[in-house]
Amino acid sequence: RNIAGEIALAEDPGRIMKKWREIFGIRQNELANFLGIRPSVISDYESGRRKSPGVKFIRRFTDALISTNMRNGGDVVRKFSPSDRGDAILGIREFLSPVKCTDFLKAVDGRVIVNNKIEKKNLWGYTVIDSIKAILELSENDFINFYGSNSKRALIFTKVHLGRSPMVAIKVTRPKPNMVVLHGLHPNKVDKLAVKIAKLEEISLVVSNLRSEDELLNSLSRLRD
């Protein structure tokens, strides 16, 4: 958010965009590919040939910097993070417009375990979390920070064996996500208590069938909002 604010308030926003892109160590081509635009658009903004970007583009630009860095290890994000929770966050994104849960299911190749009116729900973002690091290292306050700017999102837990620990953690914290996606286990292996908690808390529970974390993150990055 500080990045977006600095760009929006700058007299020369293109120069600030270039500064942050270089801090994150991301090439114009890589950033443009993530945003789904031509590299020349990034170049034009940075050189001042294109007029100041709008609020929506600045937000997308900032999200792209963070998401791309998280996919590459998250070293820069952790440097500017107020705590060590960046170690547990593998990816985070805020959507510019709501994404239907049914469309999100396709991106994660999800099998629905607990429906809870999933066809009527929308998501405003997602957070991908290393479940082992989250359970072992993070406090209740850190869990709250997983929700970004909107709690109507999907929390995606990787390295899951049964799904009980993430759901117990969600039960004792506020707010609650619209959807929880478990990755790393067979749908038939989901713990009965995890299913019960999802039903009680009215959370849609899903298992992703994608084979690896990289495949999961890459598929999510291609999701259009």
Residue pLDDT, tens place only, 27-39 = 999 999 999 999 9
The segment(s) of the chain belonging to CATH 3.40.1390.20 are 81-221
Fill in the amino acid letter for 79: K
pLDDT of residue 148: 67
As a CATH number, domain 81-221 is 3.40.1390.20
145 has a pLDDT exceeding 80: no
Buried-exposed string 162-195: b where 16+ CB fall within 10 A, e elsewhere = ebbbbbebbbeeeeebbbbbbbbbeeeebbeebb
pTM for the model:
0.65
The segment(s) of the chain belonging to CATH 1.10.260.40 are 2-78
Provide CB contacts within 8 A for 165, sequence distance 6+.
131, 135
Residue pLDDT, tens place only, 96-135 = 789 999 999 999 999 999 999 999 999 988 999 999 888 7
Q: Could you identify the residue written with the tokens 């970004």? A: 148
Q: Hey, which CATH number is domain 2-78, 1.10.600.10, 1.10.260.40, 3.40.50.1820, 3.20.20.70? A: 1.10.260.40
Residue pLDDT, tens place only, 40-99 = 999 999 999 998 888 889 989 998 998 888 888 887 876 666 554 557 888 888 887 899
Provide CB contacts within 8 A for 21, sequence distance 6+.
28, 31, 42, 46, 65
Fill in the amino acid letter for 188: N
Q: Could you identify the residue written with the tokens 């990755």? A: 183
Return the H-helix or E-strand segment holding 114: strand 110-114
